[in-house]
Structure 1
Amino acid sequence: MNNKGFTFLEMLLAMVLFAMVGLASVAVLSSVTKSDEASQVAMHRLQQLQRAMLMLERDFMQISARYVRIEGDPPQQERLWGEQYLLESEDHGVSFTQQGWRNPGMILPRSEVQAVAYRLQEGQLQRLFTLYVDAVNNTDPQQQVLLEGVEAFEITYLSNDKWEERWQHEYLPQAVKIRIVQQDLGELERIFVLPNGMWRGDAS
């Protein structure tokens, strides 16, 4: 019986084939891993954007006719204050009060009306709020980072079928248009129509 083993050349060829299969497997695994990581990042950005839009919609839909205070100063004669660079924003900023801050049975030592503001700082869309609606001077607001990687945050206000870039009136606009440019997701625009009867000068 003739027992013939593998030659050196055959073993070398087998090793080369195994190495090529291993490298191909590593490349496929690396590609799948990178794709998964990119998908996770994109999903996180999308979830952030959805939360930010829901927060904006909730606040504007529950907007109050109460006069606003800017950085603890005495109440303005405006129910909504919006302009570029407001509250040290790097783009547009807006401040108003909303009446949806639930406090069942008034258990907590605060009102159900909340002063809120939005601004862009360091690429972050930030929501500012104070624990007390009439916060005094030198009271630092709480900050919520709603969205990162933001390149532009623009707000315009609808009044008598005309869009205005700033708002400093004693009544509320008919609608608010938000334009956000985000690095990964591009440009998004939303219009929030304010509750009926809230935008004319008879609101009190």
Structure 2
Amino acid sequence: MAGSRDARGFTLVEVLVTMAIFALIGIVSFTVLDQMSKTKTQSEDAREQLQSMQFSWLMIEQDLRQAVGKPTRPNGTDVVRRYVSSDERLAESDSGLLALVKSGYDNPGLLLPRAELQPVIYRVREGVLERISYAYVNDRSDEPAAQPLMTGVEEFNVRFFRAQQSAGDSLQNQGINSGWQGSWDTEGDMPLAIEITVVSKAYGEIRRQFLTGTPSAVSSNDREGGENANQNED
């Protein structure tokens, strides 16, 4: 009798309990792995968003440092001496816009039939901050190059600082709060600084202020009629 009792197998209840324990362990393991995978994905997304935001500010800062005051002929005829603009009609932006002309557009050995100046526009389309650039200053008939910079952008606002004294004075000595305005209508002059506010889904409102490269880049020829802004991209 003792031998028969030792040789018997597990009861149904014991089997069910064992299966339940293994099932519970499997569910817990899957939940932990799934949560780890989601956390990794969220971390990667957050890192990519941070990198894109930092890169966007870097591009904006570089362009503003190289901003120049140059009369242009965007339509090939009329001379425009408004060196920066926030007019959304220039590039059909959904929220705010910044347009300027920058130097430093590489042309090694002057092999290409263009100057080392480049028109650049920052705009928002369908929640994406884009940097639009043209190959020529005075001929914008070709399709521009559009570079997406940051996603999840809800607002892109620009303000301009008008210097109250001489252009050589520092920004801190100008009374920074008194010189800001929402648009730049002054012809033949550059703002001393530009403030950009970006509202994004990931980071909320971020505001930065930049000094421009050439606060008063106006030659006597520019004031007299802009003879230097010829159609051959001087």
What is the TM-score with the length of structure 1 in the denominator?
0.89
> 1 CA distance for matches of 2:36 and 2:18?
27
Q: Kindly provide the amino acid, as one letter, of the partner of residue 208 in structure 2.
A: R
**In the alignment, structure 1 residue 127 sits paired with structure 2 residue 131:** yes
Q: 1:139 aligns with which of 119, 134, 142?
A: 142
Matches within 5 A, 1:164-175: 164-169=181-186, 170-175=188-193
Q: 1:150 aligns with which of 148, 153, 156?
A: 153
**In the alignment, structure 1 residue 194 sits paired with structure 2 residue 224:** no
Larger radius of gyration: 2
Q: Kindly provide the amino acid, as one letter, of the partner of residue 168 in structure 1.
A: D
> 2 CA distance for matches of 1:6 and 1:144?
68
Flag the structure with more relative contact order, 1 or 2, with Cα contacts below 8 A and sequence separation at least 6: 2
Matches within 5 A, 1:20-99: 20-70=24-74, 74-99=78-103
> 1 CA distance for matches of 2:143 and 2:78?
16
Residue 176 of structure 1 deviates from its aligned partner by 0.4
Could you list the runs of 5+ residues in structure 1 that have no partner in the other structure?
A: none
Q: How many residues align?
A: 201
What is the TM-score with the length of structure 2 in the denominator?
0.78
Residue 41 of structure 1 deviates from its aligned partner by 1.3
Question: Is residue 103–residue 118 contact of structure 2 (8 Å, CA) maintained in 1?
Answer: yes
Q: Kindly provide the amino acid, as one letter, of the partner of residue 185 in structure 2.
A: Q
For the aligned residues, what is the CA RMSD? 2.0
Structure 1 segments of 4 or more deviating over 6 A? Answer: none
Which residue in the other structure is 1:180 paired with?
198
> 2 CA distance for matches of 1:123 and 1:33?
27
Q: Kindly provide the amino acid, as one letter, of the partner of residue 189 in structure 2.
A: Y
Question: Is residue 70–residue 217 contact of structure 2 (8 Å, CA) maintained in 1?
Answer: no
> 2 CA distance for matches of 1:186 and 1:116?
25
> 2 CA distance for matches of 1:102 and 1:186?
35
Q: Kindly provide the amino acid, as one letter, of the partner of residue 195 in structure 2.
A: K
* 1:111-152 Cα deviation digits (max 9, x unpaired): 21111111122111111111112215x433221111111100
Q: Kindly provide the amino acid, as one letter, of the partner of residue 35 in structure 2.
A: S
Question: Is residue 93–residue 118 contact of structure 1 (8 Å, CA) maintained in 2?
Answer: yes
> 1 CA distance for matches of 2:200 and 2:16?
54
* 1:145-187 Cα deviation digits (max 9, x unpaired): 1111110000000113410100122200010000001111211
Q: Kindly provide the amino acid, as one letter, of the partner of residue 211 in structure 2.
A: V
* Secondary structure, counterpart of 1:63 in structure 2: coil
Instruction: Tell me which protein shows more strand as a share of its residues.
Output: 1
Q: Kindly provide the amino acid, as one letter, of the partner of residue 196 in structure 2.
A: I
